[in-house]
Structure 1
Amino acid sequence: MALPFFDSLANLAQVFTPNPPTLNDEYDGLEYSWKIFVFRPALFKNEAFLLAAVVIYSTFFWFGTKINHAKANSWLSAYTGIFEKQFSLPTAGGLTADGYTDFFNFSTGRRNIASLHTVFTLRPRHDIFQLAYQVLHATVAVPDFVWALVTKGEANLVKLERWDFKFTKTTENPLLPPNVVVMSEYADVTENVLKIAGPVLEALKNPKIQPYFRSLSITDQPRTRPGVVSANKEKHVVLSLVVPPPSHTAESAPLVSAVFGLIDALEKINLRPETKGKLKKTREDFSKTLKDDAEREAREEAADAKLAAKRRAEEERIASLSAAEQQKLLERDRKRNLRKTQGKVVKK
């Protein structure tokens, strides 16, 4: 007579025992069997594709990670010799990875340079989906413009500090706190930005944040006047704050958080065609000005170089003359200068 414990154990085993596989007698594909085990590959097509995808993704991840590390390390190794000559700590802490695409090197210990940050931003080779998206899709097309919110007390100062603000005009806006003004190229730009800047505007109305706010700008222009036209234009969102005392460090956190939301919403900006045309013309005119300035400077430098070469040649010719001939030349130049002085008549 079986004991109740073993009966219960047997019943429990039956509950957790999987049902035997149902084999289709009509199956005529490839089949592997060994004793009680039967494997029919055709029944596992989905699993095979899933396994292949996992293997491909894992392989891609491994090789992509290695390639990015190798690229960053290779460049740093090639330039370490230069850094070692320039800095007492050329690779302080070594190459630091931030994820799988961004790498950093910090160099310090040099007169006239507080520190050098070498930044590598590589393609996401570790992720086939991110890489495909980055290759096949262009980045978000944010229009080219300069726009900023600035406190009234800082408006004149930031115009001196920031060359790109010279593109803008200063106006007030009822949606802003009384102590904040807009610096914008066109009203259409301001209207579009303020539509997506709700959280930023709310943060600026907070009395706890206002003492630490200086400016918030969106710009496609460099902050200092460029010498040449750059083919690689970058857009920047720049938040400038006054450093608060330690007891109020977290006061501006809502504003900082809101700025990230503003960045994500920039793709929603849709300027009128005439505004885009004006912005484009402004930049084309400035590019032409830079080009003309560069060509004029090149002509002046060439003329100066030609004149300097002519003077050197004349000095070398005179130096090759005898002392008597040099004295004659000096006497001739003296008489010529004297005649020029005497020939000047002052009329009253």
Structure 2
Amino acid sequence: MASLLVPALYSLPEQYDGWQLSWKFLVFRPAILRVQACLVLALLVYVALSLYGRAINVRKADNFYSAVLPLLSRQFSKPTTGLISDGPSDFFVFSTGRRAISSLHTVLALRPRHDLLQMIWQYLWSAYDLRYEPFDALTFDFTLDSDAAAATPDFIWAVVRKSELALIRDQRWDLTFTRTADHAGLDSNLAVMSEFADVTETLAKLAPSGSSIPLFTLISSALPYLRVFSITDQPEERPSASALSNKLKRVTLTFNLPDGVNCILPLLEGTFALVDLLAAGKVNFRPETRAKIKKVRDGVEKAVREEEEKDKREEVLEDRRAAKRKAEEARIAKLSPAEQKKALERERKRALKKSQGKLVRKA
């Protein structure tokens, strides 16, 4: 086995007709290092592509930051901490200091252009799975402050690009509460995800830009870059029972990063105005709609707590079984070899009898 792992000794050929460099007892013959030269060349190409891909991502992030900074500066007293990089493809901007908004997290999740292998994998997987679409993701995540959250009714509502519908329910737990429908006020490439029709009709009447432009018109204006526009009082991932009381109300926009950010700025600016309307209590639903939403929330909270309690009970039972097995193993270890053999045989027969009983009950 060891001989297979040890490489064979290199045998220097006696006849060499290629070009060589020699100095005293040192001789360099490039022709016998072709494989190594190819490997070094491949490594250099990979490093060059990695640096080039990283530079593209940094340039995209810088261009976006320069375009959006004036709007953030107008809206926040502390518009940004600067463009923060978390690796070659992820960038963040944090903004705070505005009425009705606790914070705004802006996230750029760009494609891994610095990693050739990942780019190849994305290309091949997109050819295999037609639902998979790699893109440069831009997300604005508005978190409402406590006063605005108190003035905003509980509801979940989203406008989603139809190409996202196949995957969105797997990615976001909160949107599993909703039903999907078309709406005449939206572009045909967009669909509404809403808990109740009253929620959609109430939001369709809003004009958050301070003018006569309806919310739905603003949303449609961000095509073809808009992927998801959502308002939610539930987390994107299924929460634990302890986290149910710490609900945050959020407005989230996700885009394909456009080459020119100006085309999405009207919707972004309208979102600030929408938050002000929510904080002012301008969004109200019929009493029966509020009652239905509350019933859904109560049911979800009850289900989450029951599931967590069931998991805890099963965990306690498993701990008890493990402790019992460990005590039994310790007891058997103290027996003589003959007694150990008898004990193991009894355990085998007991397990066999138990498995046969399960088969009979199933039949």
If the TM-score is normalised by the length of the shorter chain, which range does it land in?
0.5 to 0.7
User: How far has the Cα of 1:261 moved from its partner?
Assistant: 1.3
Aligned to 1:224: 237
3-state SS of 2:191 partner: strand
User: 1:261 aligned to 2:273?
Assistant: yes
Equivalent residue runs for 1:24-35 within 5 Å? none
Q: 1:201 aligns with which of 216, 220, 241?
A: 216
Q: 1:109 to 1:190 in 2, by over 3 A?
A: closer
Determine the C-alpha separation between the residues in 2 that align with 1:288 and 1:116: 36
User: How far has the Cα of 1:221 moved from its partner?
Assistant: 0.6
Q: 1:292 to 1:102 in 2, by over 3 A?
A: farther
Determine the C-alpha separation between the residues in 2 that align with 1:190 and 1:159: 19
User: How far has the Cα of 1:104 moved from its partner?
Assistant: 6.9
Aligned to 1:293: 307
User: How far has the Cα of 1:265 moved from its partner?
Assistant: 1.3
3-state SS of 1:157 partner: helix
Determine the C-alpha separation between the residues in 2 that align with 1:144 and 1:221: 9
Determine the C-alpha separation between the residues in 1 that align with 2:91 and 2:261: 25
For structure 1, list consecutive stretches of 5 or more residues without a partner in the other structure. Answer: 1-97, 124-133
Write the deviation string for residues 55-77 of structure 1: whole angstroms up to 9, x where unpaired.
xxxxxxxxxxxxxxxxxxxxxxx
User: 1:237 aligned to 2:216?
Assistant: no
Write the deviation string for residues 214-235 of structure 1: whole angstroms up to 9, x where unpaired.
1210000101111224212110
User: 1:178 aligned to 2:188?
Assistant: yes
Q: 1:289 to 1:104 in 2, by over 3 A?
A: farther
RMSD across aligned positions (CA): 3.9
One-letter code aligned to 2:239:
P
One-letter code aligned to 2:223:
Q
Count of residues paired in the alignment: 232
Q: 1:322 aligns with which of 336, 355, 362?
A: 336
User: 1:160 aligned to 2:156?
Assistant: no
Contact map agreement 2:244 2:301 (CA 8 A) in 1: no
Determine the C-alpha separation between the residues in 2 that align with 1:120 and 1:304: 47
Write the deviation string for residues 8-56 of structure 1: whole angstroms up to 9, x where unpaired.
xxxxxxxxxxxxxxxxxxxxxxxxxxxxxxxxxxxxxxxxxxxxxxxxx
Contact map agreement 1:105 1:119 (CA 8 A) in 2: no
3-state SS of 1:177 partner: coil
User: How far has the Cα of 1:108 moved from its partner?
Assistant: 8.4
Structure with larger RCO (C-alpha < 8 A, sep 6+): 2
Equivalent residue runs for 1:1-348 within 5 Å? 140-197=150-207, 198-206=213-221, 209-228=222-241, 229-245=243-259, 248-266=260-278, 267-333=281-347
TM-score of the two chains, using structure 2 as the length reference: 0.54
User: How far has the Cα of 1:257 moved from its partner?
Assistant: 1.2
User: How far has the Cα of 1:333 moved from its partner?
Assistant: 4.2
User: How far has the Cα of 1:269 moved from its partner?
Assistant: 0.8
User: How far has the Cα of 1:184 moved from its partner?
Assistant: 0.5
Q: 1:214 to 1:106 in 2, by over 3 A?
A: closer
3-state SS of 2:224 partner: helix
One-letter code aligned to 1:250:
N
Write the deviation string for residues 112-170 of structure 1: whole angstroms up to 9, x where unpaired.
xx89999998x9xxxxxxxxxx99x7865100000011122222222222111101111
Determine the C-alpha separation between the residues in 2 that align with 1:251 and 1:105: 23
3-state SS of 1:154 partner: helix
Q: Compare CA radii of gyration and give the structure with the larger one.
A: 1
Determine the C-alpha separation between the residues in 1 that align with 2:217 and 2:93: 35
Contact map agreement 2:205 2:214 (CA 8 A) in 1: no
Write the deviation string for residues 247-304 of structure 1: whole angstroms up to 9, x where unpaired.
x232111111111111111220111111111000100000000010011001100110
Determine the C-alpha separation between the residues in 1 that align with 2:182 and 2:297: 25
Write the deviation string for residues 179-214 of structure 1: whole angstroms up to 9, x where unpaired.
2211100011111111114443233444xx311111
For structure 2, list consecutive stretches of 5 or more residues without a partner in the other structure. Answer: 1-72, 100-144, 208-212
Q: 1:286 to 1:174 in 2, by over 3 A?
A: same
Determine the C-alpha separation between the residues in 2 that align with 1:216 and 1:236: 11
Aligned to 1:89: none
Q: 1:118 to 1:305 in 2, by over 3 A?
A: farther
Percent identity over paired residues: 42
Contact map agreement 2:160 2:228 (CA 8 A) in 1: yes
Determine the C-alpha separation between the residues in 2 that align with 1:218 and 1:231: 18
